[in-house]
Each structure stands twice: as C-alpha cells, then as structure tokens.
Structure 1
C-alpha cells in the first residue's frame, strides 16, 4: 500500500462541529483504514466561526486574551481575542456579537457593540495590526455598534445617540467621527467570505436579514436605515463585501480597514499553500457545499491550492447540493447518514465514517 501525506483542512460545520472537531473526526476515520499515512491537521476558516481556532492552532506562540463584552442582546459575553507573535491581533465577531449568542433572534435590536469593544481591547494592548473576522453576525446595524465602541457617535435629529441595532438607524441624522480611534500602525484587515454590497437586492438587509429573523416588511425598514448610514459615512456602499455581517464590512471600511477574502487571508497566515503542496491528498469541507461555495469559501480555496500542484482534493460536507467539480472524491454526511436530521444529531460519528470512506478510495 502506497503511503500518503494527507492534509486535513476543513472549515467548521456551523452549528454542529467546530473546524477542530471536524479535523479530528476525519483524521480518526482515515487512520482507522490507513494507519500508516501521515496526517497533517490544519483546520481553516473563512472569517466566520472558528477563525480564532484556526489561527491559534496554526501559529505557534499565539495567545488568547480573555475579554468581557456586551453581547448582541446586551447580556455580557465572555469572549477572547488572539495575539499573534508578530504583535497583531485576530478578533472574531462570531465570538462577541454572533448569531449563535441569540435565542430568539432580534432582527432590529441585535448589535455589534461587543465586537467593537473587543477590537478596542486589542488596541489598548498595543497591537500593531488587527485581523477582523466578521462572519456569523447576528445584526444588521451596518457596523454602527462596533464604531460606537471605538468612539464614533451616531445621533438623531435631537442630538441624542440612537439606540443600538438596526432599529436606531431609522432615526439616524448625523455621525460624529471626531472621537473615533485611529487604526493601529499596521492597519486593519477584514476577513469575510461574502462579496455583497451594502444596499439593494443583493445587499445586507435583503440577503442576510431573513437569516436573522427579519420578515419582508422588516427587510424594507432595515434597508432604509442602512441607506441613511451609507449617506453619512465616508465609504462606498457598493464595495464588494460592504454588506458582509449585516453591513459591518461597510462600517469597518469607513474606519479605514481593507477587505480581504477570508479563506485566502487565513490560508496565507497559516501557510496552507506550503502544506497542501507537500501532500499527496488534501481533504476539505464545510457544512453545506452549494452554489455559494465557489465564492471564497474554504473548500474552493483549498481546491485551488491543490489544483496548483499535483495534490488530489477530496470533499466532505453535511450536504452537497452543487456539483463538486475539481474534487477527486466527495462524501455527503446527509447521504451516508440517511437524513439531514441523523447527520446533524451525531455529526462527528458521520465525519469519522466519511474519513474512513475517503481513505478506502485513496489508492
């Protein structure tokens, strides 16, 4: 039997397994069939949930710094940011202001204040650069909450600060950026997996509002609020990615941050290209492989790394609804488990089975 070096580089399966858990389960399944192979564990992220984990595992010397912030529904959240050895920081919106922190969803009232507080904590610690992972958001506030925590003021016609969340944007009349904290010396890089603009039928409210509990009528109100914000902040609302995280991408652009494809940026920092180039097989995956997976998601990024050399790419996903072009083998947990419900009930069990099935066809 030919021995393989196998890189296991998945994203998280949102809501059921972290990228670390996915990696370990796939590795266990693979090793049960091919114990002689060399397995390189490299959990990845595209700017959403699990980005801190991906950096922490891949960058020796990283340090988690705990911080307590105001959660998206005003309850305190115990979160953290990550200091890298080069004195840059990674801050993850999903940890501080994420949709998984809410039950029920609050389409008008959820906000990003906690995300801004975590960024401010990193700045207070003297970091040189910040990487801002903004996937998995709960709000549609255009990043106004985060900017408020960084010193900006958003006020209504009476000169009173607006209430946090998308609700307040409907009364927004003026923005005062005189107290906004400057960027760190090395700047701020926003990590995102979407390219939507702020406004319009493919914008933050229309596309992501319903995912956060907004009705069609709610979306129309949120759109008006975001348009008011767009008229007052110094950023281009049509910039691809401005609509990410309920418009938080737009707010961070107004701060002076730059946008980057999340998977590419994470992969560059963790030197994923080198790892894939040195392997004969790479396994990647995500919770749902669909028509949006080619738009900067982890599987498409890993597939492109494999295609650049002679590495064979394999895919595992909770569900596969688009043709997995470019992958030498693909396994759907829904198919092998018999149903979506079964696959989600014990995701790690079926991930181990998926790893074993891929190992059996490795050759």
Structure 2
C-alpha cells in the first residue's frame, strides 16, 4: 500500500523548541456552551451544587439563571489550548493565579488565547517546561477566566541546545480583596434547606479538615467522554494503541476530570460553596487511570470577609484527592516529604459562601 502523503496539512503539535516567551497563541474552535453541556457535566460527576442546578435557585440569589459550573468553563477554555500547547505533553504539572472573572451562562460562546510567559529545559535534556497564561472570552470579548499553567513537553531533538531559561514569578495566592462576586449576586435570604446544608461561612474556621467520605470510580468511557466534551485532544487520554508501549502502558485520565470529581465529592461537607472564585495553585501529584476510585478531603486554609459585603464571605480551601484509598487513613506525604502514591491531586482555591 502506498504511503499517504500528509504534507503539512495535519497538526503534529508543538514541541518544546517551538515555544517562544512573549508569543501569543489564538486557539481554534469557538464553542457555544449549552444547557446540554451542563447536563452532561452533571451526569459525568454528579455535582449537586444548587446554584448550577436550578434557574429558580440562581434567581433567588439575584442571577438571571443558573450559570455553568465554573469548572466546566475552566475545562472548555483549557481544552481549546491543548492542540497548540500540550499535544506533545508528558504531563500537565500545575496551575496558579486562576481568576474567574465573569459567570458563563448557557448560550454564551467561548474562545481562548494563550501567551507564552516562560520556558525551561529539564535536566534530562529530553523535555522542557513551558509556562502559559490562558484567557477565555465570551462572545462580547469579555474575559471570563484567566489562569497560568505549566506543562512538561517533549523536545523534538534531544540534542538541541538548551534555551536561556525564563521562569515567571507567580503569586502564592490571590488575596481575598481581589475575588470577584458575580454581578447582582446576593447571599441574603439564602435557602439552606434547598441547598442541602445548614453550614454557612461563619461555621468554618482555618485549620478545619473535612473528609468528604464518598468515593467515585472512574470508568474508561466516562473520562474519555468528558475529555472529548472539552475538545481536549491530548493523545495520552485516548490512544491505547500508542500508550500501551508508553511509560504507564495505558491511557492517563485528564487531570481536570479528577478536579471535577473532587469538587463534586466536596458537596458532602461544603454544599454551600456557591462557586469557585479563584485557583491559587494546584498540582497533579500522581497519574490516575480508568478503574481508580477517587476520594477527597479538604482543609480550610483561611476564612476572609469580602470588602463591602456582609452577605457573602470567602473560604480558602486545600482539597486533596486520593485514589483507591479512603482519606481517613491517608498520609499526604511521608516523614521525608515524599508524596504518597495514592495522592493524585492537591488544589488550593477560593470559594464564595453565603453569610448569616
């Protein structure tokens, strides 16, 4: 059979050498988000947060209708960046400085653009770390989400010279006074019966740890369906033929899938966390695979008032997800600081919560 000549029409993805600090990448395929996307998201993760579940509940808080889940918006924006940034990734390493700027509603159309803000070759000489700041916009050109991530990417030529390293300075956390409360949102007259929990902002204190108790097993079809929903084309999530000879011998679950499972599980203990307001930092500590069961626990790092608001406060949370090990007997790391193999996610983020 004659070999097919693909010429330059197909996209083989960028390698480490292809990234230049300061360049801007405009990502393809605008996406109109629909109530169907939210329904499928709910079917995949079982999220029960009332704000995203019912127009009537959202209207009681002053919004026109139920917004899309913040993490659904995050994944849709993230997925657009994959063909230009992480098609040849070894792993997505971490997140920082993530800000949810405007709510997204069914019918809004999302686009994404990224700026390369750093790169550094790794010690092996075979890969490098690329830092990008990605912004999602709605159909009016308004920024709805902005975050930084860094990803380990294969080099095209392991023998090529290492570029001058550029590593951006990133904040350890976003301050509470920078958090954005969605326009018109009010926390007064909040219905804790319909929300599913009596515990409001005043009921949480720094240092408190909450075991979310429940576990969720990841089916192969589910994590691939979710990743396709977000237009995420990273090969490591889909191609068993290729991955059978790779580092792990099987497909890796998209890390964002684990984030959404952990957030959904956190309902049991944090049901009144209205929305994710910011992501301070996060890392995928170990890979997750189809068949793994995810558990989660959260620690309250801080409780902060929102300036000029007496109806809504903010909680800074550290949520840890584990695989195949319930959280009550899970050590995050050993005495020497080595992360336990069961730890798959550590996420530091702010949520908004009604006050009494």
**TM category, shorter:** under 0.3
TM-score (ref. length: structure 2): 0.24
With normalisation by structure 1, the TM-score equals 0.24
Higher strand share: 2
More helix by share: 1
